[in-house]
Amino acid sequence: MITTMTSFILLKTNSFLLRMNREDNVNWFHGKISRENAEILLKEEGEDGVFLVRESNTSPGDYVLSVLHQGEVVHYQIRRHGEDAFFSIEEHTTVHGLDTLIQHYRGDSNGLVTRLSVVCKGQPPPHESRTQGTTNLLHRATEAGEFNIVSQLLACGYRSRDAKNQDGQTAVHIAARAGRDDILAKLIESGATVNVRDSFGYTPLHYTCQNNLPSTTELLITKGNANYQMRHAPTGKVPLHDAAQKGHIECVKVLLKLNAPSRPRTIAQDTPADLAKHYGHMECYQLLKNHTPDPPKTSKSQWYHGTLNREEAVKTLEAFCNQQGLLERAADGAFLVRYSERHANAYVLTMLSENAPYNFIIRKEAQWLYIDDGPYLESLERLVEHYGRVPDGLPTRLLIPVPPKPKPPLPEFSTMPRTKKSPTRAALNQSLSLVKRDILGDTQPSPVPPVANNNAFDLLTRNLSFCSDFSNDSINNNDDAQDNETYKVPVNNSTLWEMFSYGKQPYGDMRGIEAIQVVESGQRLERPEDCPDEIYQVMLDCWAYSPDLRPTFSKLVDVFSQHPDYVNISQLALDNDDATV
C-alpha cells in the first residue's frame, strides 16, 4: 500500500525557483520515444552524464530516465505514486514533481551511476507532472475573478488549464481558495484536474476547508470528484482534519454528508475529533465523536469468503474474472475479503490491479477496522464501501466483488442421511429416555427436580448437542421446544464449554439443585483457558437468564457458518461416509 511519502522534498528557495522556472532548464522531456531512439540521441551527444526523460512504453503514467555513462546508456524507471505528481526512481526517495525529481539528481548522483549534468534538449514536461511553473493569463484572470475572460480562454481550447504558477498552484487551486464557485464550475466543466497538490502539499479541497467555504467544498466533491482522502504529505492531514482543527463545522458537515470517513489519521495518529478537541472547538468535537454514518449498502455475502489461503484467494479471483470475461485491465478492482490465518483477529483484502494480485491486512484496534495508515472504520461493510469510493492508498478502488461459492443448505432432520443404528447409539437413546424421565418425571414435575448423578447423566451432559434444551424455564415449566427460527438457546447449555475445557465437569461436584441456584444467582462458568473471547461471548449470550436475550438457532447458524474454525457436522459426516465407501 502506498502510504505517506517516506521523504517529502519541498525545494522552494528563491534561487531554486529562478533556476527551475527557466524553460531551458526543464527542456529534457522527449515524450513517447522508444528505448532505442533514446539511446541513439544520447550517444550522439556523447558527453558523460547527458540525459533525457521519456514516457514509459510499458507502464502508463510512469516515465523513464535515460542517462549516458562511460559510453553506455542506463535506463531508470520513474514510478508515479498515487494520482498526483509524486515520483521516485526505483526504491529511492519519493519526490513531489517530475521537475523536482530531476533537479534532485542534477545536484548529486544520489545512487545513480552518475550525476545528471547535461540536458539532451527536448521540451518541458507535462503540466500535471510538475511542481512549479510560471504565472499565465488563466491564473491572473482567475485570481482577479474575471469570469468572462476565463470562459473565453477555456472556450478556445486553452491548453494550459492545468499549468502551475510559481507556487505550484493551478487555476483550480486559485478559484477554490478564493471561493469563486462560478469560475471553479467552469474549470471543472472544461476538464481541469481537481486532485492535484501545490508546492506546499495542499489540494484545492484542503484550501476550501481551511478557508471555511462549504459550498465550494461541496462543488469540488460533487461536480469535480475531488478525493476527500488526499493527504497533505508532510503531516498526513486530509481536508476533514483542516476543517476540524479550525472549527469550521459547516465544512465538516458537508464532508460527512458526502461520505468522508470521520476517523482518518495523521502521521501523528490524530483524528479530526482529536484536533477539534485540542483546539477548543467542542461543537465540532461532539459532532465528529457522535457521528453515525448511513447503513452500508454492501453485504458480506457479496465478497466474504471465510478461510482461504493466499494462493486460493488469488485463484478464486482469477477464476471469477475468467468466467465473467474480465480480461486484463477490465479485472482491475476485483476483490474478496477473507479471514487471516496468520494474524489473530484480522482479515485480508485480496484484490487485482493491472493483472497483479495484492493482499492487505485488515487489522482491528478496539472496535475499529483499518488498513495500514487508513481511517478507522466501523465494520467490514463500511471498509469495503469506503475503498469502493476512493482508493485511499490502494492501487485502485474496490469495484468488482467476488462472491463466495454458495454453501450447501442445512439439511432438514427428516432428510439427514441415516446410518444403521449401532448398539452404542441404541444404548445412548435409552440413556436419553431414562434421564428425561428422571428430570421431568412421568407426571407433573416438581418446581426444581433432582438431577441424577449417575453414569447415564454424565454421558448425557458430555454428549448433548449444542442446542439441547436444559434451561431453567424448561426444567421448571416443562416448556415444549419452539420453532427453530425463533427458539432461544437455553441458559444451562454447557456442552461448548466442555469442549474447550477438554471434558471438565461444568459445575464440578455440585448437585443439580446447587448448580441451578448458582445460575439463578447470576454466576456463570468462567472462560476456559483455550477458548477464544468471541466464542466465550457466544456462550454468555446463550446463558442469558431471560430467554428473550438469548440468540436464536438461526442466529447461531449464521455466527458459526461464517467462523473459520467450524464446519457443518452433517456435511462432515457426509464427507466421511464418502471417504469410507
Retrieve residue 37's grid coordinates: 531512439
Contacts of 331 (CB under 8 A, 6+ apart): 317, 321, 352, 355, 400
* Count of beta carbons in the 10 Å neighbourhood of residue 443: 5
Does the structure show a pLDDT above 50 at 486?
no
Query: Which position has the higher pLDDT, 533 or 62?
Result: 62
Does the structure show a pLDDT above 50 at 464?
no
Amino acid 409: pLDDT: 64
Percentage above 70 pLDDT, the chain: 77
Query: Which position has the higher pLDDT, 35 or 510?
Result: 35
Residue 390 CA to residue 259 CA, distance in Å, equals: 10
Identify the band that residue 450 occupies on the pLDDT scale cut at 50, 70 and 90: very low
Residue 355 CA to residue 351 CA, distance in Å, equals: 10
Residue 78 CA to residue 80 CA, distance in Å, equals: 7
Query: Which position has the higher pLDDT, 310 or 492?
Result: 310
Contacts of 246 (CB under 8 A, 6+ apart): 209, 210, 212, 279, 281
Identify the band that residue 475 occupies on the pLDDT scale cut at 50, 70 and 90: very low
Does the structure show a pLDDT above 90 at 459?
no
Query: Which position has the higher pLDDT, 555 or 218?
Result: 218
Amino acid 568: pLDDT: 59
Identify the band that residue 159 occupies on the pLDDT scale cut at 50, 70 and 90: confident
Retrieve residue 83's grid coordinates: 494520482
Please give the domain boundaries of the chain with CATH numbers for all domains. Answer: 14-129 (3.30.505.10), 137-289 (1.25.40.20), 301-401 (3.30.505.10), 413-580 (1.10.510)
* Residue 575 φ/ψ, nearest 5 degrees: -60, -40
pLDDT digits (tens, 9 = 90+) for 259-293: 999 999 999 999 999 999 999 999 999 999 999 99
Helix (H, G, I), strand (E, B) or coil at 52: strand
Amino acid 116: pLDDT: 95
Amino acid 209: pLDDT: 99
Residue 198 CA to residue 101 CA, distance in Å, equals: 15
Question: What is the DSSP code (8-state) at residue 488?
Answer: B
Amino acid 86: pLDDT: 84
Nearest in space to 468 (alpha carbons), one of 495, 445, 443: 495
Residue 483 CA to residue 504 CA, distance in Å, equals: 31
CA 399 to chain centre: 13
Amino acid 22: pLDDT: 52
What pTM does this model have? Answer: 0.63
Amino acid 561: pLDDT: 73
Nearest in space to 357 (alpha carbons), one of 339, 338, 334, 380: 334
Amino acid 468: pLDDT: 39
Q: What CA dihedral angle connects 220, 223, 228 and 232, to 10 degrees?
A: -40
Please compute, for residue 493, the number of CA atoms within 13 A of its CA located in the half-sphere on the CB side.
23
Amino acid 407: pLDDT: 66
Best-predicted range by mean pLDDT (207-211, 229-233, 411-415, 564-568):
207-211
Amino acid 499: pLDDT: 80
Amino acid 516: pLDDT: 76
Amino acid 494: pLDDT: 63
Identify the band that residue 442 occupies on the pLDDT scale cut at 50, 70 and 90: very low
CA 238 to chain centre: 17
Residue 347 CA to residue 31 CA, distance in Å, equals: 43
Query: Which position has the higher pLDDT, 353 or 513?
Result: 353
Retrieve residue 485's grid coordinates: 427460527
Query: Which position has the higher pLDDT, 501 or 577?
Result: 501
Residue 317 CA to residue 323 CA, distance in Å, equals: 10
Does the structure show a pLDDT above 50 at 438?
no
240 in Cβ contact with 253 (< 8 Å):
no
Nearest in space to 271 (alpha carbons), one of 234, 227, 221, 236: 236
Amino acid 567: pLDDT: 60
Residue 7 CA to residue 263 CA, distance in Å, equals: 24
Mean pLDDT of 172-192: 98
pLDDT digits (tens, 9 = 90+) for 198-243: 989 999 999 999 999 999 999 999 999 999 999 998 999 999 999 9
pLDDT, averaged across the chain = 81
Amino acid 21: pLDDT: 47
pLDDT digits (tens, 9 = 90+) for 83-109: 677 899 977 778 888 988 999 899 888
Identify the band that residue 437 occupies on the pLDDT scale cut at 50, 70 and 90: very low
Contacts of 274 (CB under 8 A, 6+ apart): none
Amino acid 95: pLDDT: 86
Query: Which position has the higher pLDDT, 545 or 94?
Result: 94
Query: Which position has the higher pLDDT, 338 or 59?
Result: 338
Residue 153 CA to residue 139 CA, distance in Å, equals: 11
Q: Any idea which of 61-75, 361-375, 523-537 has the lowest mean pLDDT?
A: 523-537
Residue 250 CA to residue 217 CA, distance in Å, equals: 10
Contacts of 175 (CB under 8 A, 6+ apart): 142, 183, 184, 187, 204
For 117-244, strand residue ranges (E) read: 118-119
Mean pLDDT of 515-522: 76
Does the structure show a pLDDT above 70 at 441?
no
